């Protein structure tokens, strides 16, 4: 028969044994989890390499309703025309009524496609919601939202006025938030949709004479990444979110925004034409590619250079000597 003190000691030993077993079991589970995530990483690396040679088939956009902001000129206009040629119903938004109407007319001349034009200042939330309601009533729910509208004043930081900085952020960042709040709810309700955002290489690399612009384009990257993650984690595992996100980082595109480009090696770093850019943007959206630079190599070059010591990174930037001069 055990004495009280011996009984207490035995209970403690049993408790300690259970705790050690629980810890060991927990440690084993963590080890298994680490092993599984390493396997997944190697699998996804292999899949990524495979997809470099055998790309994902492009999904159809026929019958989708595509809304493009800044559709009156440049990339926005070419995007609207491209989606219309693929059988989508296209909704064109622009503050420039004349340019927007011209885009709509060009689309209608293709024959057999529907196009609608609306004048809208995307920097104003109330106006975005008002025009969005008209689109829902007259066209239907938007299933592909392309946030393209943007401005790019090129000045030294101290030469920017308060009004200009606010305008850059209102158009380049806040407009994305307003259109998303207007059109994302219907996508979530139907668990179907795609959001495309035009950032810039200036959204992953800081450039002189573009400080507010770079800040706005960096913000677009953060917005898209965090919103996709929020929808992913909020959706149930048995019914994951089917809303896709694509962020585009074009190198300098010849749309007139970049008035004084500075390029040391024009043979390999020439301005990209709007038509070239649009082919890659639409292809990325149709393949559900999450992030793409144009040309595609630059996003990989940037990732590699970020691993270098700071002095090495600066040395490469000085060697390439590319960017923009301040507007005169």
Q: How far is CA 130 from CA 120, 179, 193, 194, in A?
A: 9, 11, 21, 22
DSSP 157: G
Nearest 5°: the CA angle 79, 83, 89 is: 120
Contact 274, 74 (CB under 8 A): yes
> Is beta strand 115-119 parallel, antiparallel or unpaired with respect to 89-94?
parallel
3-state helix/strand/coil string of 225-242: HHHHHHHHHHCCCCCCCC
Q: Which helix (H) or strand (E) holds 94?
A: strand 89-94
**217 with 267: CB under 8 angstroms?**
no
Catalytic residues: 213
Q: How far apart are CA 282 and CA 79, in angstroms?
A: 8
Q: Are 142 and 66 in contact (CB under 8 A)?
A: yes
Q: How far apart are CA 254 and CA 277, in angstroms?
A: 10
């Amino acid at each position: 028969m055990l004495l009280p003190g011996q009984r207490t000691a035995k209970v403690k030993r049993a408790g300690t044994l259970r705790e050690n077993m629980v810890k060991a079991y927990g440690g084993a589970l963590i080890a298994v989890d680490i092993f599984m995530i390493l396997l997944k990483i190697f699998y996804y690396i292999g899949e990524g390499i495979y997809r470099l040679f055998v790309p994902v088939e492009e999904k159809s956009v026929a019958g989708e309703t595509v809304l493009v902001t800044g559709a009156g000129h440049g990339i926005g206009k070419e995007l609207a025309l491209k989606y219309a040629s693929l059988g989508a119903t296209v909704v064109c938004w622009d503050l420039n009524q004349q340019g927007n109407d011209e885009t709509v007319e060009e689309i209608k001349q293709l024959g057999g496609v529907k196009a609608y034009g609306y004048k809208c200042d995307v920097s104003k939330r109330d106006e975005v919601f008002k025009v969005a309601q008209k689109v829902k009533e007259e066209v239907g729910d938007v299933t592909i939202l392309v946030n393209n509208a943007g401005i790019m004043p090129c000045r030294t930081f101290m030469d920017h006025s308060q009004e200009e900085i606010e305008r850059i952020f209102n158009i380049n960042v806040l407009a994305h938030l307003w259109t998303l709040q207007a059109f994302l709810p219907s996508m979530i309700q139907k668990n179907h949709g795609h959001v495309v955002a035009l950032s810039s290489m200036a959204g992953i690399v800081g450039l002189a004479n573009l400080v507010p612009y770079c800040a706005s384009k960096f913000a677009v990257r953060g917005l898209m990444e965090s919103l996709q993650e929020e929808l992913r984690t909020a959706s149930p595992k048995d019914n994951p979110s089917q809303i896709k996100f694509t962020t585009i980082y074009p190198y300098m595109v010849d749309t007139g925004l970049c008035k004084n480009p500075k390029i040391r090696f024009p043979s390999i770093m020439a301005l990209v034409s709007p038509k070239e850019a649009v082919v890659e943007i639409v292809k990325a959206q149709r393949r559900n590619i999450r992030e793409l630079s144009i040309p595609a190599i630059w996003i990989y070059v940037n990732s590699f250079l970020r691993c270098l010591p700071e002095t090495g990174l600066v040395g490469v930037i000085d060697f390439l000597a590319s960017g923009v001069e301040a507007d005169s």
